A and B are shown apart, each in its own frame.
Chain A
Amino acid sequence: MNPVLELDHDDEIVRELLAPFARVQPVTLRRRAPARRSRPWLVAAAAIGVAILVFASLATAGAFGPLHGASISPNPPTLTTAASSDLACNLIGQTAGQAENTLHQSGYQIEWRFQYWGAQTARAAGKNSPGAVTGGYATAPATVPADSIVWDIGADTRTSNTLFVFVEAPNDPNAPTVIPPTCQGR
Chain B
Amino acid sequence: MSPKNGYSSSGVTPRLAPADDAALRDAIRRGATRRQLLAWCGGLGLGAAAATPLIGSARAAVAETPQRGGKLRVAGATASTTETLDPARGTDSTDYSRHYMFYNGLTTLNEALAPQPTLATSFETNDATTWVVKLRSGVQFHDGSPLTAADVVYSLARHKDPATGSKVRAVAMQMADIKATGKNEVTITLSGPNSDLPVILGVSHFLIIKNGTKDFSTANGTGPFRCKSFEPGIRSIAVRNENYWKPGQPYLDEIEMVGIPDSAARVNAALSGDIQLAAAMPVAAARQLERAPGLKIMETKGGTYTNICMRLDQAPTDNLDLVLACKYLFDREQIRRTIFRNYAVIGNDQPIDPTNRYFAADLPQRPYDPEKAKFHLAKSGFGSSLSVTVSPAAFASEDIAQLWQQSAKAAGLDLTLRRVPADGYWTNQWMKHPVTFAATNARPTADLILSIYFKSDAPWNESGWKSPKFDQLLVAARGEQDHAKRKQMYADMQEMISNEAGVGIPVFRSVLDAHSDKLKGLRPVPLGNLMGYTFPDNVWLTA
Say if A and B assemble together.
Answer: no
